[in-house]
Amino acid sequence: MSGPSPATPARATRTGNLSPPRKKTDRAWRAKPVLLSPAFTPVGFADLPGWLEDDQLAAFGAFRRSAFHVLTKPYRSGALGVAFDAFGPAYAEARERPAGSNAEARDFFERHFQPALVAPKGREHGFVTGFYEPDVEASPVRTETFQVPLLARPADLVDIDDQNRPAGMDPYLAFARQAPQGLVEYFDRPAIECGALAGKGLEIAWLADPVDAFFVHVQGAARLNMADGSLRRVTYAAKSGQRFTGPGGILAQIGEIPLEKVTMQSIRAWFKANPQRVDEILWRNRSYIFFRDAEVDDPALGPIAAAKVPLTPGRSVAVDRLLHTFGTPFFISAPALTTFGGEPFARLMIAQDTGSAITGPARGDLFAGSGFDAGEVAGVVRNDADFFALLPKPLFAGNAQ
């Protein structure tokens, strides 16, 4: 579900040299090798800063939702060697014996998992941003006020991969357009917003502000407060396929906002002060998102995301799905991050989403929740962080512990 942070670049190379672990805990980091990627270095729970102070019961609830989902469709194993099958015993117990207290939840994770430091790529620490579910006013029909559409997936949008990709087409593209001459690159944002899909009846709802609509695209979901008082939810269905180009990076590049001051809030403030330049900046992001209606089963939870379960505010994290396996618990320590509750961030999170800018082994996007307040939290998150993956103990069965 997650879209890229407004200030983050498009998808980068996802593999490469991994930086060594920090020196301050070399005693803990030195451990027997396992049949996993060298990105993982086993440590102990005592080495997780803030583990004993965290509320693992909240994370257990998110983990349990994944445990029920995988009964119908297993998650794909990531390229770093964390096999989905190894989660079997933990998922079974989570379904059959829900934890009733924080102590029981902590005991559950400590019995089933082995923590491992995740080595970042090309930097000393990992990195986190934040995302949220916008809450916006909307209309089911176009009016003088509501003139910016959210569109459903077009019928001529085709998923492509190496099996059906035409020769010479950009290998990045995962979608194409079925044209009379065959598969071609899909219309991009400028073309669509200039009317390339007009008259096809794809409009799900109409918003009043093009900047609000863009950030709905960035986040990949939204709650729509309809004019008749009803509440709707839309979520990601597909995209045009081109690379994402964040407005924050563009505004920094052209000297409008210093890079270190780029946040969702500073981007919105710039657009408000320069309404005549909105299209100029936003059209440099060629990627366009299509949506579908989604149920609002539990208003306390977020939208159903890439792992096919509702996101849990403050406990679900988007990761690089090519590298990691959905459902993996990550303990994330970001001492300089205090917008989540006022204390230095040290929480157990569950990998339940992904995003085109979320690349690399120690890169995460933290789900802050829904609505304005969640946006205020998510919009300023750009922090170094240490990632500790909690890996199923069966993955270490071949090694003496």
Residue 299's pLDDT is what? 80
Assign residue 234 the CATH number of its domain: 2.40.240.50
Residues 138 and 224 grouped into a single domain: yes
pLDDT per residue as tens, the chain (401 positions): 444 433 333 322 222 222 333 333 333 333 334 468 999 999 999 999 999 999 999 999 999 999 999 999 999 999 999 999 999 999 999 999 999 999 999 999 999 999 999 999 999 999 999 999 999 999 999 999 999 999 999 999 999 998 999 999 999 999 999 999 999 999 999 999 999 999 999 999 999 999 999 999 998 899 999 988 888 999 999 999 999 999 999 999 999 999 989 999 999 999 999 999 999 999 999 999 999 998 877 888 999 999 999 999 999 999 999 999 999 999 999 999 999 988 999 999 999 999 888 999 999 999 999 999 999 999 999 999 999 999 999 998 754 43
Residues 141 and 288 grouped into a single domain: yes
Closest CA relative to residue 60, chosen from 23, 97, 31: 97
Residues 112 and 233 grouped into a single domain: no
- Domain boundary at 294, 329, 355, which? 294
Strand pairing report for 203-207 and 113-118? unpaired
Residues 231 and 182 grouped into a single domain: yes
Residue 50's pLDDT is what? 97
Residue 308's pLDDT is what? 93
Q: How many domains does the chain have?
A: 2
Give the integer Cα–Cα distance in Å for 206 and 195: 15
Ramachandran sector of residue 305 (left: φ over 0; alpha: ψ -120 to 50; beta: rest): beta
Residues 203 and 172 grouped into a single domain: yes
Give the integer Cα–Cα distance in Å for 65 and 31: 32
Residue 35's pLDDT is what? 62
Residue 6's pLDDT is what? 37
Domain-embedded: residue 162: yes
Residues 63 and 210 grouped into a single domain: no
Domain carrying residue 108? 42-130+299-396
Domain-embedded: residue 24: no
Domain-embedded: residue 368: yes
- Domain boundary at 294, 318, 345, which? 294
Residues 177 and 116 grouped into a single domain: no
Residues 278 and 341 grouped into a single domain: no
Residue 332's pLDDT is what? 98
- Domain boundary at 242, 263, 294, which? 294
Residues 239 and 160 grouped into a single domain: yes
Q: How far, rounded to the nearest angstrom, does the alpha carbon of residue 116 sit from its chain's CA centroid?
A: 21
Assign residue 112 the CATH number of its domain: 2.40.40.10
At position 343, the amino acid (one-letter code) is E
Give the integer Cα–Cα distance in Å for 236 and 238: 6
Residues 280 and 338 grouped into a single domain: no
* Three-state SS letters, the chain: CCCCCCCCCCCCCCCCCECCCCHHHHHHHCCCCCCCCCCEEECCHHHCCCCCCCCHHHHHHHHHHHHHHCCCCCCCCCCCCCCHHHHHHHHHHHHHCCCCCHHHHHHHHHHHEEEEEECCECCCCEEEEEEEECEEEEECCCCCCCCEEEEECCCCEEECCCCCCCCCCCCCCCEEEEECCEEECCCCHHHHHHHHCCCCCCEEEEECCHHHHHHHHHHCEEEEEECCCCEEEEEEEEECCCCCCCHHHHHHHCCCCCHHHCCHHHHHHHHHHCHHHHHHHHCCCCCCEEEEEECCCCCCCCCECCCCCECCCCCEEECCCCCCCCCCEEEEEECCCCCCCCCCEEEEEEEEECCCCCCCCCEEEEEEEECHHHHHHHCCCEEEEEEEEEEEHHHHCCCCC
Residues 139 and 235 grouped into a single domain: yes
Query: Which tokens belong to 77?
Result: 């194993």
pTM over 0.95: no
Residues 317 and 228 grouped into a single domain: no
Cα angle: 11, vertex 15, 20; to 5 degrees: 120
Domain-embedded: residue 79: yes
